[in-house]
Amino acid sequence: MTDDMNGSVNDNVKRTITHLTDGRELIYYDRRDDVDHSAADARDLPPRSPASEMRYDPLLDEWVAIAGHRQTRTHLPSAKECPLCPARPGSEIPSPYEVAVFENRFPSFSFNPGDRDLDRHGHVGGHGDVGEHGDVGGLSEIRPGIGRCEVVCFTADHDASFASLTDDQVGLVMETWADRTAELSALPGVEQVFCFENRGAEIGITLPHPHGQIYAYPYVTPRTRRMLDTAARHAAGNLFADVLAAERRGPRVVAANEHWSAFVPAAARYPFEVHVYPHRRVPDIPALAAEERAAFGPLYTEVLRRLDGLFGVAMPYVAAWHQAPVSYRRDLAYLHLQLFSIRRAPNKLKYLAGSESAMGAFVNDVLPEEAAQMLRQVEITV
């Protein structure tokens, strides 16, 4: 069923909002005006899962989401059973599409608290910062895992990858990210929006179809808070801008164009890690100008092809957009993308073992300068 909330994200993109049979939103993004997304979801789906729980860790001053319902999510289906391929039985997307976004059926965060009422801040039953379960013992607390998780399908082509997308298709994905960031940032209780892609079985994907996810968190994530707190202590200027300026003069640049630079950071934690920065400081993807959005695709897909060309195998990676939180220290934030792989050699992975997992103390097996040089030397076809 298509509702009346359709419209253009900008002059070149049409957005069509529909709903699946369990009430979740499905949103199509198209570059054409004559598309037909009237096909309805014919599945008989169970009721939506209630919101997960968030539990507070007083030792680390962090929140942890507890989402037991995610244990039953779809895991590595065959190509003929892929729920992200359009217009087939069991698919989450009943119509052919260019880019499609839908609420995750197995979300880590959601605005579905069951019988509990939310106030305008996203809290349950007016209890403020403590959920209806209150204190769970010791110094811990429970809150409902209020927020939203979405799946972003980059293309209907099951056998494609982000690296194989055309510049126009990457541009449409960028417009989708920008629209979803703006929409999700406006939801009550949301403090940070995170767009990301997990690629490869080694990373732990559950669906091989080219797709990413978006998390709308009800708190500022630990890494973001730490980066912004560090930036607040920086003596002069903007810390991120100063890092970018220094890296652009150094030996670790992998690729660059008029609007973006991609480099291996001096203190890379992973064997192959690349950061991609716009040359102009902006807080988030919606703040990028049209020419900056257009320039991102050619540079980013070049970097991805270099990663794939390193060892002649599809490189597993995580691609993570670091955007400004909704309100916390937005003036210090600098949009950038962190791309990293756990593969350190053709047949070897970098496991996050004792030092990394228990102490958060990384030991990298590959010298960042050598990693940058290896990536620059990859011969890629355009």
Determine, yes or no, domain membership for 1.
no
82 among the known binding-site residues? yes
- Annotated catalytic residue: which of 37, 211, 259, 322? 211
pLDDT for residue 101: 98
pLDDT for residue 122: 45
Residues 261 and 127 in one domain: no
Residue numbers in the chain where pLDDT is lower than 50: 1-5, 115-134
Q: Quick check: is 336 catalytic?
A: no
Determine, yes or no, domain membership for 366.
yes
Residues 210 and 332 in one domain: no
Return the amino acid letter for 132: E
Residues 247 and 152 in one domain: no
Residues 154 and 277 in one domain: no
Euclidean distance between CA atoms 259 and 278, whole angstroms: 6
Tokens describing residue 147: 């927020």
Residues 313 and 337 in one domain: yes
Reported as type and span, the H/E element at residue 99 is: strand 99-103
Residues 231 and 206 in one domain: no
In contact, 234 and 242? CB cutoff 8 Å: yes
Q: What is residue 354's DSSP assignment?
A: I
pLDDT for residue 71: 62
pLDDT for residue 130: 42
Pairing, β 99-103 against β 25-30: antiparallel
Picking from 360, 53, 178, the residue whose alpha carbon sits closest to that of residue 170 is 178
Residue with tokens 């599945």: 43
pLDDT for residue 144: 87
pLDDT for residue 7: 53
pLDDT for residue 117: 47
85 among the known binding-site residues? yes
Euclidean distance between CA atoms 275 and 284, whole angstroms: 15
Euclidean distance between CA atoms 151 and 17, whole angstroms: 14
Residues 312 and 249 in one domain: yes
Apex 216 CA angle, 103 and 302, nearest 5: 85
Residue 58's SS3 state is coil
Tokens describing residue 284: 């988030």
Residues 27 and 114 in one domain: yes
On the 0-12 / 13-18 / 19+ scale of CB atoms within 10 A, 143 is buried
Euclidean distance between CA atoms 214 and 244, whole angstroms: 26
On the 0-12 / 13-18 / 19+ scale of CB atoms within 10 A, 381 is exposed
What is the model's pTM? 0.91
User: How many domains are contained in the chain?
Assistant: 2
Residues 196 and 246 in one domain: no
Euclidean distance between CA atoms 222 and 216, whole angstroms: 14
Residues 263 and 331 in one domain: yes
